[in-house]
Amino acid sequence: MKHENAYRRLKIVEGHIRGIQRMLEQDAYCIDVIRQIQAVQSALTKISVMILDEHLHSCVIRAIRGEDPDERERVLTEILDVFEACRKL
């Protein structure tokens, strides 16, 4: 699998989210719930960076080295779009 490490980390995050659901069901202290949510958000950010790194070292390099200028422009625009969306969060 191409993104095996990212997939494994997502399964861990999935378990954490279930834990947060249980915390809510058990009326856990709000700050504790928020801290767990922040931990999940941080984990998801790390996974996103891993996948972006893989993308840069495969798809983007292939497009930049390729002969198609439209493909080069497309992948560069995609990366800019991702960064722009992150800025808005």
Q: What is the pTM of this model?
A: 0.83
Q: What is the pLDDT of residues 9-28, one digit of tens each?
A: 999 999 999 999 999 999 99
In this prediction, residue 78 carries a pLDDT of 93
Nearest to 5 by CA among 64, 37, 46, 39: 46
Domain residue ranges in the chain: 4-88
Give the pLDDT band (50/70/90) at residue 65: very high
SS3 13: helix
Stretch 45-50: mean pLDDT, rounded?
Answer: 94
Provide the total of helices (H) and of strands (E) in the chain, helices listed first.
4, 0
Which of the following CATH numbers is that of domain 4-88: 2.60.120.10, 3.30.1360.30, 3.40.50.300, 1.20.58.1000? 1.20.58.1000
Which pLDDT does position 3 carry in this prediction? 87
